[in-house]
């Protein structure tokens, strides 16, 4: 016989319960009930959904402690917070939708304190639920909203900012904030999770806590990413936001530094080891620049590529193009249409930025004859060891502030926020 609805209504979040389905018994914490299912968290850490009409018995083993309502429930009203957490969605803010089986960004701010209880011990924390977007749906206008909210929070006294977001395009967003908020008086720490919060293997709890340590104690004034350094929970890397990249679809340690060593390690104990002498120090004043031109396109060079794709964008009045080229910045010039297309882009005054699709290493326009042929055009810009994603975002920033080709070339060629390094070290490859 199925359990009566009134008995289910007596359950509260966190109650330790025993459910029986025929002869099978499940023990765990009660999470919630929906129209046809009850959700419990097993001891393994995984959530399961059980059809209510299949439950034959239920026992409350131990009632959850009632937590007094505190200021936590109105995080936006906290004055002079130590840390502001700006939530934007992504896996770290997601749970399984048991009706569809998919994961969607749907948790409220209090949930962060439930999955990472020690977070509350890191000082006064204000949580701003800015948006609920999966990172693949993020737009440049969303990066501006995040930067604006961070600037407002810093002006209101926050000593550190955490931005929780999806990981797929986190390195685009962290790059964008390195230009939109420059200089910075506090660290802006991007974090997320590779596994949703209702999975036993979730990395959300560790990433949140270690990001709070970073927001409180990291000496740099820059946009950084704080994610797992390896498959364990011992420490995270602190990575420069515009010199990092997501390098794996699912591993906890998916984010790696590119052409640079990690800025630091933050341990589960709270200790921070500074690993780089190039940490950008905090500045007394944070400046916010809200100009991004999103009419920029990204092309991946490939064998047999012709100039038609460049022509298409020029004909459609694109403002800038980034090409992830092969090797030191080569394009397949055997197809003469590419040269004609580069001439067309030059005549239209459209800047074309060349980055290495090798990910590691630097472009060099002087090595091969093809490179010299490409670089003779006035609108071609080689950007050294800048990552493709950072160059894409920086070109938006440059064009947002000036449409003059010479000004764009100048901005793209200078080091604004640590995005360009003159020389790489041997040990910086595949860290």
Catalytic residues: 91, 167-168, 246
Q: For residue 145, give every residue at least 6 positions away whose Cβ sits within 8 Å of its Cβ, in sequence order, or none.
A: 130, 131
Tokens 């104690």 belong to residue: 217
Do the Cβ atoms of 352 and 360 come closer than 8 Å? no
Q: Checking DSSP bridges between strand 57-62 and strand 47-51, what pairing results, if any? A: unpaired
In the numeric block, which tokens belong to residue 379?
Answer: 């609108």
Kindly give the interhelix angle for 170-180 and 140-155, rounded to the nearest 10 degrees: 50
- CA–CA gap between residue 324 and residue 421 (Å, rounded): 18
163 DSSP β-pair partners: 86, 190
Angle of CA points 308, 363, 373, to nearest 5°? 50
Q: For residue 349, give every residue at least 6 positions away whose Cβ sits within 8 Å of its Cβ, in sequence order, or none.
A: 379, 405
- CA–CA gap between residue 32 and residue 8 (Å, rounded): 9
Q: Within 10 A of 304 (CB to CB), how many other CB atoms are there?
A: 7
Within 13 Å, how many C-alpha atoms sit on residue 420's CB side? 15
């Amino acid at each position: 016989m199925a359990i009566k609805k009134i008995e289910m209504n007596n359950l509260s979040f966190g109650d330790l319960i025993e459910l029986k389905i025929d002869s099978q018994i499940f023990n765990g914490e009660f999470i919630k009930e929906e129209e046809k299912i009850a959700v419990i968290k097993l001891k393994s850490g995984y959530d399961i959904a059980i059809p209510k009409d299949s439950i034959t018995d239920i026992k409350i083993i131990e009632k959850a402690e009632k937590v007094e309502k505190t200021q936590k429930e109105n995080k936006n009203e906290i004055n002079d917070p130590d840390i502001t957490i700006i939530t934007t969605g992504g896996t770290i803010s997601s749970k399984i939708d048991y009706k569809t089986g998919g994961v969607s960004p749907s948790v409220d701010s209090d949930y962060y304190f439930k999955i990472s209880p020690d977070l509350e011990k890191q000082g006064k924390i204000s949580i701003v639920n800015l948006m609920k977007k999966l990172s693949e749906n993020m737009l440049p206008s969303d990066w501006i909203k995040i930067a604006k909210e961070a600037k407002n929070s810093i002006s209101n006294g926050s000593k550190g900012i955490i931005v929780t977001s999806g990981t797929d395009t986190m390195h685009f967003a962290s790059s964008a904030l390195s230009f939109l908020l420059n200089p910075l008086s506090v660290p802006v720490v991007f974090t997320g999770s590779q596994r949703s919060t209702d999975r036993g293997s979730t990395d959300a709890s560790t990433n949140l806590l270690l990001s709070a340590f970073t927001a409180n104690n990291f000496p740099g004034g820059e946009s950084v990413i704080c994610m797992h350094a390896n498959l364990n929970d011992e420490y995270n890397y602190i990575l420069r936001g515009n010199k990092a990249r997501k390098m794996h679809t699912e591993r906890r340690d998916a984010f790696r530094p590119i052409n640079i060593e990690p800025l630091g390690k933050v341990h589960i104990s709270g200790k921070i080891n500074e690993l780089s002498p190039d940490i950008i120090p905090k500045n007394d004043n944070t400046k916010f620049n809200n100009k991004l031109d999103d009419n920029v396109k990204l092309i991946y060079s490939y064998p047999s590529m012709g100039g038609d794709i460049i022509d298409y964008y020029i004909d459609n009045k694109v403002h800038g193009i980034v090409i992830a080229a092969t090797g030191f910045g080569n394009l397949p010039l055997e197809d003469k249409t590419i040269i004609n297309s580069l001439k067309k882009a030059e005549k239209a005054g459209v800047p074309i930025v060349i980055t290495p699709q090798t990910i590691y290493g630097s472009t060099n326009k002087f090595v091969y004859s093809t490179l010299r042929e490409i670089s003779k055009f006035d609108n071609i810009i080689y950007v050294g060891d800048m990552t493709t994603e950072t160059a894409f975002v920086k070109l938006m920033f440059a064009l947002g502030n000036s449409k003059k080709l010479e000004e764009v070339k100048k901005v793209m060629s200078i080091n604004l926020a640590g995005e360009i390094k003159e020389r790489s070290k041997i040990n910086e490859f595949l860290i």
